[in-house]
């Protein structure tokens, strides 16, 4: 309760988002997230108009890996991303100590196995949509109510029946 937005920012295909975002949706929070894990089910249930999708699809992720992902190319090509990382690297958020966040910045620029830099501009665009939607309280409330109403699928009763049928292959004892 009391969360308006659930940030589910995993890389498509990594299955990082699970039951936590279901709980947010059941409590009325809208989701901003990639097409990964439980986000896929949530988006199908609540509808595209009530979900803020960003990032690459799993096939796009695989294609970028196969091509040879070079995160520094995204850094060079995106002025906003470059300014953000340069600001972090400058020590502006660490009392002037440039070494505090250096490992994070270096990882993003030269490794970035979760392709954060590749999804960055899409994430920023989705956040702009969040801002616009949140500025309309009536529409935001409508979407929040729809999230609650359509999220009953995630009940523990349904999940247990699913496990009994598909995984345990046993008749229920209740």
pLDDT given at position 26 = 86
Band of pLDDT at residue 174, cut at 50, 70 and 90:
low
Write out pLDDT tens, residues 25-66. Answer: 888 999 999 998 888 888 999 999 999 999 999 999 999 999
Cut 0.85: pTM above it: yes
Structure-block tokens of residue 75: 């850094």
Give the mean pLDDT of 97-111: 98
Residues contacting residue 116 through CB under 8 Å, at least 6 positions apart: 71, 108
DSSP code of 100?
Answer: S
Region 13-19 average pLDDT: 72
In this predicted structure, the answer to whether residue 17 has a pLDDT above a threshold of 60 is no
User: For residue 142, is pLDDT > 90?
Assistant: yes
Mean pLDDT, rounded, of the chain: 92
With vertex at residue 32, the alpha carbon angle to CA 84 and CA 127, rounded to the nearest 5 degrees, is 40
- pLDDT of 63 reads 98
pLDDT for position 162: 79
């Amino acid at each position: 309760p009391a969360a308006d937005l659930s940030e589910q920012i995993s890389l498509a295909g990594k299955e990082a988002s699970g039951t936590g975002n279901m709980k947010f949706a059941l409590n009325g929070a809208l989701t901003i997230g990639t097409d990964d894990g439980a986000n896929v089910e949530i988006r199908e249930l609540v509808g595209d108009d009530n979900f803020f999708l960003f990032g690459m699809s799993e096939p796009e992720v695989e294609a970028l890996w196969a091509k040879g992902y070079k995160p520094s190319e995204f850094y060079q090509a995106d002025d906003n991303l470059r300014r953000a990382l340069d600001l972090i690297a400058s020590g502006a958020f660490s009392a002037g100590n440039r070494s505090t966040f250096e490992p994070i910045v270096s990882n993003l620029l030269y490794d970035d196995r979760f392709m954060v830099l590749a999804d960055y501009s899409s994430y920023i665009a989705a956040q702009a949509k969040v801002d616009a939607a949140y500025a309309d309280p009536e529409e935001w409330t409508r979407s929040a109510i729809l999230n609650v109403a359509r999220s009953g699928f995630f009940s523990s009763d349904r999940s247990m029946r699913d496990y009994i049928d598909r995984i345990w292959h046993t008749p229920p004892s209740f």
